Amino acid sequence: MVGRKFRKDEKGAIGIEILIVFIAIVLVAAVSAAVLIQTVGYLQQKATATGRTTTQEVASGLKVAKVMGHTSGVGGVIDKLAVFVEPNTGGQDVDLSKVTITLTDGEKQVVLTYNSSYYNESYPYSDIFDVSVTTGNTTENIYPQAYEFGIIVLQDVDESLSNETPVMNTGDKVILAINASYIFGGIEERTKVSGEVRPEHGAPGIIEFTTPPAYTVNVIEVQ
């Protein structure tokens, strides 16, 4: 079969159509590329912001350095708990007034909040279990007779801590004072106690220990 011969005007029309199609393809590709670049930029910014927030959440928070218990000696119970805490290295500031402490002895679970009346910054202390606070004309022990905790300041170089706004930052160290007699009726031997010190933001400090089979001294490091 003899191929059809195109006239010059037909060849020109076909060339223009191909050019139009080509330009349309280029425009579609350009628009798609712009949308893709915009989407990639948005996702990159979201990922960066999310990563920053996640890093701050992980790095921020509180660390429980140790837990000390006070007893009345042989045959007694742990009546006070001193929880030593400090902020995680490189983390954000922690407002202790927003902290909650959850504790359980296997039979009862409690949630403790901060009471600004139970605050003492008169470091050093001769006995951390015999620290007093004065409210009005009343002087009492800093370990509250309530589902609350007090604060004993151990280190605060920049004076960021106060009774109303106890904000911890790098280098600060405090004791959270808990009255075990009030919340549990005391903690007996061979008792497992667990819980956490949870700040408003960031990782919580973990409390977990089992009391010894006998109390032979008045002060015991339980964690």
Structural domain for 70, as ranges:
61-221
Choose from 26-30, 101-105, 198-202 the range with maximum mean pLDDT.
Answer: 101-105
Query: Cβ contacts of residue 165 below 8 Å, gap of 6+?
Result: 95, 97
Are 101 and 83 spatial neighbours (Cβ–Cβ below 8 Å)? yes
**CA 19 to each of CA 26, 29, 33, 93, 142: distance values in angstroms, whole numbers, following the listed order:** 10, 15, 21, 64, 86
| Structure tokens belonging to residue 130 | 């015999």
What's the pLDDT score for residue 74?
Answer: 73
The verdict on 195 and 142 lying in the same domain is yes
Does pLDDT of 99 surpass 70? yes
pTM of structure: 0.74
The verdict on 13 and 69 lying in the same domain is no
The verdict on 52 and 68 lying in the same domain is no
For residues 143-168, give the mean pLDDT.
95
Average pLDDT, the chain: 86
Task: Decide which of 42, 59, 76 is a domain's last residue.
Answer: 59
Does pLDDT of 220 surpass 60? yes
Q: How crowded is residue 139: how many other Cβ atoms within 10 Å of its Cβ?
A: 9
For the chain, helix, strand, coil in percent to 5 are 30, 35, 35
User: Pick the residue with more confidence: 170 or 53?
Assistant: 170
What's the pLDDT score for residue 140?
Answer: 92
Task: Tally the domains of the chain.
Answer: 2
Distance CA(76)–CA(176), nearest Å, equals 22
101-149 pLDDT, tens digit per residue, is 999 999 999 999 999 999 999 988 999 999 999 877 889 999 999 999 9
Does pLDDT of 35 surpass 90? no
For residues 144-173, give the mean pLDDT.
94
The verdict on 166 and 75 lying in the same domain is yes
SS3 97: helix
The verdict on 91 and 185 lying in the same domain is yes
Strands (E), the chain: 62-71, 78-87, 94-95, 100-104, 109-120, 132-135, 138-141, 148-155, 167-168, 173-179, 192-198, 205-210, 219-221
